[in-house]
Structure 1
Amino acid sequence: MDFKLVLGKLINGFEENSVDYALIGGLALGLLGVPRATTDIDILVHKEDLDKIDKTMHALGYKKRFSSENVSQYTSAVRSMGDVDFLHAFREASIKMLERAQQQGVFGDTLQVRLVRAEDLIGLKIQAIKNNPSRTHQDLADIEALIARQGQTLDWQELQTYFELFDMKELFDSLRSRDS
């Protein structure tokens, strides 16, 4: 996948259609200072923008591979365009993630993208572990790397809220004691 090409096209389409979005997943990890190999782009979008997303993706030559209440996945037959997955924000917590997303320059500041904050990416990782325990090894490694990289800038009260929401207070206490 040509990330620079695809992100440029996506961001242009999102701006033209007033789509509320923020990068998540492996690409967001890298932008937050934790390099991770990834083969797709993961994006948080407001559920009210799904029709605009569909319009944008089809205009770029993508086909919808899967869609549910929570996610939609698009794929392109053109290898350089790859796959793009969308997580739908409709609960209060995920809508607030979109509201808190920050602008960041990528590719030598040639493109500005919106990115979830480290705390919110950790919250999404916690949710992923809760929903699919087989992901624990990779997602916990990502969380630990984000904590190590972001360190004292993290809002630990906010993180505690995420861990408690998914009944993982013991894991929070363990991670917090290591960072202190």
Structure 2
Amino acid sequence: MDFRLVFEKLLTFFHENNVRYALMGGFALGLHGVSRSTVDIDFLVHRDDLSKIQAVMTELGYKCIYQSENVSQYISPLKVFGEVDFIHAFREISLKMLERVEEKKVFNETVSVRVLKVEDIIGFKVQAIANDESRKAVDLGDIESLMALYKSSLDWDAMEKYFSLFGFSELLSDLKRKYLQ
């Protein structure tokens, strides 16, 4: 997958068409200082912008291989375009995430991209663990890497909401002891 090419095409479209989005997943982790390999691109997008997403993905030759109320997954027959996943923001908590994104520069400062805040990435990682126990090792590793890097600069109160929402308050207490000492 040519990440630069895909980013340039999608982000140009997003900006020209006022698509409300934020980068998340492995690529977002990298922009926040946590190195992790990834084979796709993941975005959080406002549900009201899904028709725009469908239009650009179809125009670029992608095929929608899965769609639900919560997610759309696209894959291109061309390896250069790879796979792009979209998480649909429609609940208050995810809509708020889109309001507090950070701008980051990628590809030698040539491309600007909206990225979820660290706490919100952690929130999605907690949700992923709650939804699929088999993801725990990787996602908890990502959470701990972010906590080790950002420690006291994190909004721990915001993260408490995510952890308690999914029944992981005790896990957060353990992580606080580990990373706030």
TM-score, normalised to structure 2, is 0.98
Secondary structure of the residue aligned to 2:80 is: helix
In the alignment, which residue of structure 1 is the partner of 2:68?
68
Alpha-carbon shift at residue 149 of structure 1 (Å):
1.3
Whether 2:126 is the aligned partner of 1:126: answer yes
Q: C-alpha deviations, 1:2-26, integer Å up to 9, x for none? A: 1111111110111122110000000
Matches within 5 A, 1:34-113: 34-113=34-113
**Aligned counterpart, 1:136:** 136
- Aligned equivalents of 1:53 and 1:108: distance in 2? 26
- Aligned 8 A contact 1:14 1:56 in 2: no
- 1:17 counterpart = 2:17: yes
After superposing on structure 2, the runs of 4+ consecutive aligned residues of structure 1 that deviate more than 4 Å are none
Alignment partner of 2:144: what SS? helix
Q: Deviations over 1:53-78 (max 9, x none)?
A: 00111111111111000000001111
Q: Secondary structure at the match of 1:78?
A: coil
| Matched residue, 1:147 | 147
Query: What percent of counterpart residues are identical?
Result: 53
Partner Cα separation in structure 2 for residue 41 and residue 124 of structure 1: 15
CA distance in 2 between counterparts of 1:173 and 1:27 reads 28
Alpha-carbon distance in 2 for matches of 1:133, 1:173: 19
Q: How does 1:21-32 map to 2 (within 5 A)?
A: 21-32=21-32
The 2-side partners of 1:150 and 1:45 are apart by: 26
User: Are the equivalent residues in 2 in contact too, given 1:44–1:88 (CA < 8 A)?
Assistant: yes
Q: Give the match for residue 8 of structure 1.
A: 8
Amino acid at match of 1:102: E
Q: CA deviation at 1:101?
A: 0.7
Q: What's the offset of the Cα at 1:161? A: 1.0
Q: Which runs of 5+ in 1 are unaligned?
A: none
**TM-score with structure 1 setting the length:** 0.98
* Matched letter for residue 6 of structure 1: V
The count of aligned residue pairs is 180
Could you tell me which runs of 5 or more consecutive residues in structure 2 were left unpaired when the two chains were aligned: none
Amino acid at match of 1:61: G
Give the aligned residue type for 2:104.
Answer: Q
Q: Root-mean-square deviation (CA), in Å?
A: 0.7
Shift of 1:152: 2.0
Q: How many Å separate the matches in 1 of 2:67 and 2:171? A: 32
